[in-house]
Amino acid sequence: MKKYLFLILVLCFGLANAQTAVSLKQFKKNGATVASNKNILTVSWPVGQGNSGKLILDLDNRNALFKSLQLGKPGVFKEIVSNLDPVFILRVGKRTLSPSSGGWDVFFDRVPTRPYTTNKVNFNKKNASIVTNGSQTVIKISELESTIFKGELEITLYNGSPLFNVAAVMSSQKDSTAILYDAGLVNKLNVWENVAWSDVKGKMQTEKVAKTDQSKNLEVKYRTVIGENKGGSLALFPAPHQYFYPLDEAFNLKFTWSGSNYLNLISDFGIGIRQDPLGDKRYVPWFNAPPETKQRLNFFCLLSTGKAEAALNEVKKFTHNDSYVPLPGYKTMASHFHNEFISDVVLSGKTVPEKPEFVDVLKNAGLNIVKLAEFHGPGHPKGPDSTRLKELNALFKQTERLSNSQFLLLPGEEANNFYGGHWLAFFPKPVYWVMDKKQGVPFEMNDPKYGKVYHVGDKAEMLKLLEQENGLAWTAHARTKASTGYPDKYKEENFFKSETFLGAAWKAIPADLSLPTLSKRVLNLMDDMANWGLKKHIISEADIFTVTEQNEMYAHLNVNYLQMDNLPNYKDGWQPVLDVIKNGKFFVSTGEVLIPSFNINGKGAGETLKINGAKTNVNMQLSWTFPLSFVEIVSGDGNKVYREHINLNTTTAFGKQTFSWPANLKGKKWVRVEAWDIAANGAFTQMIWIE
pLDDT tens track for 363-381? 999 999 999 999 998 999 9
pLDDT band at 412 (very low <50, low <70, confident <90, very high): very high
* Across 111-117, average pLDDT: 97
Alpha carbon of residue 384 to chain centroid:
40
Residue 554: the pLDDT is 98
Any bridge partners for residue 145, and if so which? Answer: 122, 150
Q: In what order do the strands lie in the sheet with 451-455?
A: 432-434, 451-455, 444-447
Is the confidence at residue 451, as pLDDT, over 80?
yes
Which residues pair with residue 34 across a beta bridge? 43
Does residue 6 sit in helix, strand or coil? Answer: helix
Using DSSP's 3-state secondary structure scheme, residue 484 falls into coil
Query: Mean pLDDT score of the chain, rounded to an integer?
Result: 96
- Cβ pair 171, 246 in contact under 8 A: no
Nearest-angstrom CA–CA distance, 311 and 226:
8
Structural contact between residues 575 and 568, judged by C-beta atoms closer than 8 angstroms:
yes
Q: Report CA-CA distances (Å) from 185 to 110, 168, 448.
A: 30, 13, 67
Using pLDDT thresholds of 50, 70 and 90, give the confidence band for residue 6.
very low
Task: Report the pLDDT value the prediction gives residue 13, as an integer from 0 to 100.
Answer: 44
Q: ω before 99 within 30° of 0 (cis)?
A: no
Mean local confidence (pLDDT), 419-440: 97
Query: Which pLDDT value is given to residue 687?
Result: 98
DSSP helix/strand/coil, 649:
coil
**Residue 583 CA, distance from chain mean position:** 26
Predicted pLDDT at 12: 43
Is the predicted pLDDT of residue 614 greater than 90, yes or no? no
For the segment 90-97, the average pLDDT, to the nearest whole number, is 94
> Does the structure show a pLDDT above 70 at 5?
no
- Mind listing the pLDDT tens digit for each residue in 128-177? 999 999 999 999 999 999 999 999 999 999 999 999 999 999 999 999 99
> Measured between alpha carbons, how far is 525 from 485 in angstroms, rounded to an integer?
11
- Tens digit of pLDDT for each residue in 511-533? 999 999 998 999 999 999 999 99
CA–CA separation, 606 and 438 (whole Å): 40
Report residue 255's pLDDT band, with 50, 70 and 90 as the boundaries: very high
Amino acid identity for residue 96 in this structure = T
Domains of the chain, earliest start first: 22-318 (2.70.98), 321-591 (3.20.20.140)
User: How would you classify residue 264: left for phi > 0, otherwise alpha for psi between -120 and 50, otherwise beta?
Assistant: left
Task: Report the distance separating Cα 331 and Cα 564, nearest Å.
Answer: 6
pLDDT mean over 234-245 = 98
The answer to whether residue 355 scores a pLDDT higher than 50 is yes
d(CA 660, CA 557): 30
| Among 478, 505, 481, 480, residue whose Cα is nearest residue 491 | 478
Residue 4 clears pLDDT 80, i.e. is over it: no
For the entire predicted model, the pTM comes to: 0.96
| Segment 520-547 mean pLDDT | 97
Beta bridge partners of 433: 454
* Coil, helix or strand at residue 652: coil
Name the pLDDT band for 541 (thresholds 50, 70, 90).
very high
Q: What mean pLDDT is predicted for residues 658-673?
A: 97
Q: What is the pLDDT of residue 22?
A: 95
Classify residue 504 as exposed, middle or buried by CB count within 10 Å of its CB (0-12, 13-18, 19+). Answer: buried
Residue 565 has pLDDT above 50, yes or no: yes
